[in-house]
Amino acid sequence: MKKGHKPLIQLHYANGPSLEDINSSIAVPHNWGFWKTLFAYSGPGALVAVGYMDPGNWSTSITGGQDFGYLLMSVVLISSLIAMLLQYMAAKLGIVSQMDLAQAMRARTGVTLGIILWLLTEAAIMATDIAEVIGGAISLNLLFNIPLVISVFITVLDVLVLLLLCLIGFRKVEALVVCLILVILLVFLYQVILSKPDWGSVVAGLVPKPADVSNSPHVGNDTPLTGALGIVGATVMPHNLFLHSSISQTRKTNHKDVNDVARTVRFTTWDSNIQLTFAFFVNAFLLITGVAVFTKGGVKDPSFFGLYDALRQSNVMTNPALAHVAKSGLLSTLFAVALLCSGQNSTITGTLTGQIIMEGFIHMKMPLWMRRLVTRVISVIPVLVCVSLTSGDSAIQEHTALNDLMNNSQVFLAFDLPFSMLPLLIMTDSPVEMSNRFKNALWVKICGWVSVIALIYLNLKSLPDSLAGFIEKQASQTTWAYPTAYVIDVVIIALLFWVLYDLHRGHKEYKAKHPNYATYSDANLR
């Protein structure tokens, strides 16, 4: 770079580098070949992929397969492609601006809005954590016959696992996460191979069609539209955008060299897309499991307990090979092991994300073990209450209550998703934030806006039904369920306009202070 030229992007940190202890902690030599360099950059994508195969995804995908066959395979595929696009933008924002999404949003919004956004994102993380607590506690109960209440308390002790991981280095954490992902992938691959699915129908299901979002046929209370919304909602998670914008900065990058920044963006994108492809296969295998492993209507109870029991019953298997293995208990045991792995993976990523948003939005630092302990204790409370209230009921009632709690907690994810997607797209579209070299290409911008508008619309559309269903079940009446749900929708839309206004104002102020950023290009940085 010629003398006198400014760095590519040099924003002022909101409160120091994101996840300062691991930021730029891994060096990648420049003289390595493609595959060796890709291996060095691999890891952050695996931590992101964990969010796309956490316990909250399992029930929606398997139930979708049971109810509608391979019809919703295209929804799994489209959700995965949207996830790749959003995660690419999140990683690029972190690498180029040297700020994570929380820091970048807080730098361009007022104090009050910053606190509101922090609370919304914390609620989403805790909602995810509830699913992890339930999944972890149930897997311990199924594998070791530990009572549910004790299992819930044991999940709090995963803070000790986190302390150990903090000592061994971030690269080893990435390797551990990859190993756990492979366990999950292999478990469901084994089940799918045994089930001998109709691969022609599987491939045909990957082609989008109007029937994917139809309001008929009705299977129980579900339609293809509600099934599709469930899969989309369980797949695209807001906390993953914050996570990726931070951990993409773990590789050392010379931000005074535009080519080195481009190299980091390129290999980080490769890593993310490869890992999210694995996540797509896991979710596809889950849906195929619902179709090809169990007979039609064979799963009466879609909770984790119900799926575990179904995998032990030879009479609901679709072929003799599956029936034989089911009798041995191997299928159900592997399912519980995969559930435990999924919960532990999500523990690692959930804690890192919590630290990112706390430091980014409210500039508060807290040791990871303390952050994990506080979040997990809060998340354990509703699970313990649910278990205690149903302790005198039948096992099926207890299982159903836990499953309902997990499903209802996912409403917060739909609630929070627009508040991370919209700012991410706006900032990565801007040459002021990203320079002309790294702002979104036209095709990325078009696909991004179509995806974001579609996801916001679908989430807002499904929110009234989800909330109304919960209110009706708890209050046993319908008079105020939908009005309450629509009021919440209006509040979400109002908050979105507030976010857009603050981002626009912050963007103008930043542009006035740094008029030359938009003119930067690869040509004049050499």
Please say if the pLDDT value at position 526 is more than 60. no
**What does the pLDDT read at residue 245?**
94
3-state secondary structure of 26: strand
Boundaries of domain holding 370: 21-409
**What does the pLDDT read at residue 523?**
40
Give mean pLDDT, residues 156-170.
Answer: 69
Q: Is residue 511 part of a domain?
A: no
What is d(CA 11, CA 434) in angstroms, rounded to the nearest whole number?
10
> Which whole-number Å values give the CA distances from 484 to 182, 411, 420, 465, in the listed order?
43, 14, 24, 11
What is the Cα gyration radius of the chain? 23
Q: What is the largest CA-CA distance in the chain?
A: 76
Binning pLDDT at 50, 70 and 90, where does residue 478 land? low
Q: Is residue 517 part of a domain?
A: no
Please say if the pLDDT value at position 234 is more than 60. yes
Binning pLDDT at 50, 70 and 90, where does residue 91 land? very high
Give the count of domains, the chain: 1
Among 93-102, 144-153, 222-231, the range with the most confident prediction by mean pLDDT is: 93-102
What is d(CA 84, CA 74) in angstroms, rounded to the nearest whole number?
15
CATH number of the domain within which 73 lies = 1.10.4160.10
Give mean pLDDT, residues 164-180.
Answer: 78
Q: Is residue 169 part of a domain?
A: yes
Give mean pLDDT, residues 79-104.
Answer: 92
What is the percentage of the chain residues whose pLDDT exceeds 90? 20
Binning pLDDT at 50, 70 and 90, where does residue 313 land? confident
Q: Is residue 416 part of a domain?
A: no
Q: Is residue 526 part of a domain?
A: no
Q: Which segment of 86-90, 354-358, 424-428 scores lowest on mean pLDDT? A: 354-358
Q: Is residue 421 part of a domain?
A: no
Burial 372-400 (b: 16+ CB within 10 A, else e): bbebbeebbebbeebbeebeeeeeeebbb
Q: Is residue 501 part of a domain?
A: no
Please say if the pLDDT value at position 104 is more than 70. yes
Express each pLDDT in 317-349 by its tens digit.
Answer: 888 888 888 888 888 899 899 888 887 777 777
Q: Is residue 308 part of a domain?
A: yes
